[in-house]
Chains A and B, each alone.
Chain A
């Protein structure tokens, strides 16, 4: 005997490498499509979504993400490398839901095929020993076997069972089944989930969204260059955007007595470029819906207007820029007006940084806003002179000054003032800045999502399938007739099976009672060809 295993001959009867590979693949496939795996993947999906709600997300607010980077300078880059600021578009989130959907398809499709085969096949033959089923019982009837089964068949058909009669080895028998729609509901539900995912993906690939602040009396056209911010799917390019222009004619914000915002409405005019266009009113909860496109009012604010007059008398009348609300309840707003081209030389540009209060209250020299309605508008401004760097090619925010320009000294403060409408302040060089009033602006959003209708239809199908799956029950009823011992008549053995729930006993008892009653009625009542006669 050798203790060393002889080398295996290459032609050993073990499965060949590709076959082994296939076996392994099959095993993995089975494991992936098992219900246990589905549960684990569902858990993973729930878990994977958690950081998306606890950490700031770029898709929701780039600002908050920047804030997080500032607060956690060492941790943030690490989290970023793990996609934790873009959880819902991260590869690992996608991996979880794609695995889940592969598992789902692999699990549900074979079940579906089996289901359609079962739907066409007759209900299966009755088990040999009916009394062994969880719900079973016996009924006696003086009717002969065939007639007794007739009664049972009729009663079951009224209850929408599919019924087959067979002559089994143990006597005439009957199998009945209903509730196929339960399984159909299950299939519909799971396949709707797939449809929903496809709709979401389509919307992401071919959708876009742009946001813009529009002051009353102005407008914009649907193009990426015009939007303040936009995002678009990878399969969209600027040529695909619907040619539509929108003008904001009037904006109104209404408030309750306690200053709760009651409604925001915008009167707009929309149409193709150069067209006269049509008028409509949009507001919160009421967007403009066009073929595949929607236009929303997502916010509003004020653009204070200023008239800047140089010592030589040249003036810029009623220049304005949107001030962004920093507090929605009082509409206190902040912004910056850059006045580059009043004089040709580049070193003497003017910038105004300001705080706007629709209803101002000055206490101790500090202006605050006490009401979101423009009842007594005031501004607190700080004026700067120097080089604004607008021609430097570095992109700048339209809504604020670059603090580093002030720190570096390229902009120097030359004056500050609190102004009510009509008031003006004069800078050391003789320039006057007059606060002349305000215009309202609306924040508008233009959205295009071709997957949206598809997603809605899939959701409705999903809910329908879910209701079918949860509310319907799949039932099988079997009956077998045998001659009663003694003086004729029949013993009916009845049994039923309900899939997936053990709550069948009272229903079975009720069914047995009904069948007993029907059999009794048939026995007592004379046959139809011998109708009862009234006296």
Chain B
């Protein structure tokens, strides 16, 4: 295939993956709607190798319709992720370079990592399949926004990006961001679930989708484990960025807006890890810190790229 054909194949695959993710959202909703639990069971849930005795909606306790929808939803998500991965591969082949040279490619890759991170969790921990709706819905929104506002034609890289540091710094940035994305969503769900549990404890009929989420402790643990995984990656990203900046811009750190927000995110995640081990901060306050971390990351990807003028202006967005 010619580069042009590959590039348009990549664009088509983008639409296909958005369509598949949207169908997965429908299926996840159906799972939650039909998957009425017949009984509450105690089960050992392995969250990334962790085992916690938690009350969770056990798949076995769901009725078959719900279970079937769950499997369909995961299948659609996996197919969508396949198409999503192919978007990046065909872009890379079309341009003969790593497919993260502008904001469209970078954010597409970031969302891909988030979906893969979710899939890994869902396969290892059946209890987490139920948060699929809450991961995939933001994913679809993000993909639509990326397609509408960030799209850039396949093309060559500007001179400053032609360095092996692109592979190192930007790849780890994408992975770190994708992981923090899942972590932040887990904390948001944790906060919602804790409130829900309080309502239930107070005798209110809190019902609804939230009762079908995994237990608060499981969500909190997922948030923490992902953040612990993401933090060294993000640390490495910042260090690698500084090393690259030293070669490309003549100084390793210059408080360029992008650098500043990477620093802010790093400090916020350090605060989150501290909060998790500090009495008085565990639980809800810590989860809020994690949510702030996610907001900072999103702000850095969107606002700082598009609005402020810094050296990192490679967004390719007019």
Q: B34 at interface (Cβ–Cβ under 8 A)?
A: no
Q: Residues of A contacting B49 with CB < 8 Å? A: 503, 506
Closest to A261 in B: B159
The reply to whether A506 and B271 form a contact with Cβ atoms under 8 Å apart is: no
State the Cβ distance, B247 to closest chain A Cβ, in Å: 5
The reply to whether B232 and A470 form a contact with Cβ atoms under 8 Å apart is: yes
The reply to whether A505 and B308 form a contact with Cβ atoms under 8 Å apart is: no
Most buried by A among B155, B159, B163: B159
State the Cβ distance, A512 to closest chain B Cβ, in Å: 14
- Among B52, B246, B254, B264, which residue has its beta carbon within 8 angstroms of that of A49? B264
State the Cβ distance, A30 to closest chain B Cβ, in Å: 15
Q: Residues of A contacting B235 with CB < 8 Å? A: 462-463, 466
Q: Residues of A contacting B50 with CB < 8 Å? A: 502-503, 506
CB within 8 Å of B: which A33-53 residues: 35-36, 38-39, 42-43, 45-46, 49-50, 52-53
State the Cβ distance, A47 to closest chain B Cβ, in Å: 8
- Complex Cα distance, B267 from A45, in Å, reads 8
State the Cβ distance, A106 to closest chain B Cβ, in Å: 15
- Complex Cα distance, B304 from A39, in Å, reads 25
Q: Residues of A contacting B264 with CB < 8 Å? A: 46, 49-50, 53
- Report how many residues on chain A are interfacial, defined by Cβ distance under 8 Å: 52
State the Cβ distance, A35 to closest chain B Cβ, in Å: 4
State the Cβ distance, B309 to closest chain A Cβ, in Å: 8
The reply to whether B278 and A284 form a contact with Cβ atoms under 8 Å apart is: no
The reply to whether A39 and B275 form a contact with Cβ atoms under 8 Å apart is: yes
State the Cβ distance, B219 to closest chain A Cβ, in Å: 15
Q: A525 at interface (Cβ–Cβ under 8 A)?
A: no
The reply to whether B251 and A463 form a contact with Cβ atoms under 8 Å apart is: no
Q: A467 at interface (Cβ–Cβ under 8 A)?
A: yes
Contact with A along B11-54 (1 / 0, CB 8 A): 00000000000000000000000000000000000100111100
Instruction: Classify the interface of chain B: helix, strand, loop or mixed.
Output: helix
- Complex Cα distance, B234 from A99, in Å, reads 25
CB within 8 Å of A: which B243-264 residues: 243-244, 246-257, 260-261, 263-264
The reply to whether A260 and B268 form a contact with Cβ atoms under 8 Å apart is: no
CB within 8 Å of A: which B42-77 residues: 46, 49-52
State the Cβ distance, A178 to closest chain B Cβ, in Å: 18
- Report how many residues on chain B are interfacial, defined by Cβ distance under 8 Å: 55
- Among B162, B252, B260, B304, which residue has its beta carbon within 8 angstroms of that of A285? B162
Q: Residues of B contacting A440 with CB < 8 Å? A: none
The reply to whether B239 and A463 form a contact with Cβ atoms under 8 Å apart is: yes
Q: Residues of A contacting B134 with CB < 8 Å? A: none
Q: B274 at interface (Cβ–Cβ under 8 A)?
A: yes
* Known contacts A49-B260, A466-B232: A39-B278 contact under CB 8 Å: yes
A to B CB contacts below 8 Å, 20 in the list = A35-B278, A36-B278, A36-B281, A39-B274, A43-B271, A46-B267, A50-B264, A209-B250, A256-B155, A262-B162, A263-B159, A263-B162, A284-B248, A285-B244, A286-B247, A298-B250, A463-B235, A466-B232, A503-B51, A506-B51
On A, residues with C-beta under 8 Å from B are 35-36, 38-39, 42-43, 45-46, 49-50, 52-54, 57, 59-60, 87-88, 200, 209, 256, 258, 260-264, 284-287, 294, 296, 298, 445, 447, 449, 452, 455-456, 459-460, 462-463, 466-467, 470, 500, 502-503, 505-506
Q: Which 6 A-B pairs have the closest CB atoms?
A: A503-B50, A53-B260, A42-B271, A296-B250, A53-B257, A35-B278
On B, residues with C-beta under 8 Å from A are 46, 49-52, 155-160, 162-163, 165, 221, 228, 231-232, 235-236, 239, 242-244, 246-257, 260-261, 263-264, 267-268, 270-271, 274-275, 277-278, 280-281, 289, 296, 304, 308, 310
Given contacts A43-B271, A463-B239, 13 further A-B contacts (CB under 8 A): A36-B278, A52-B255, A52-B260, A53-B255, A209-B250, A262-B159, A264-B159, A462-B239, A470-B228, A470-B231, A503-B51, A505-B51, A506-B46
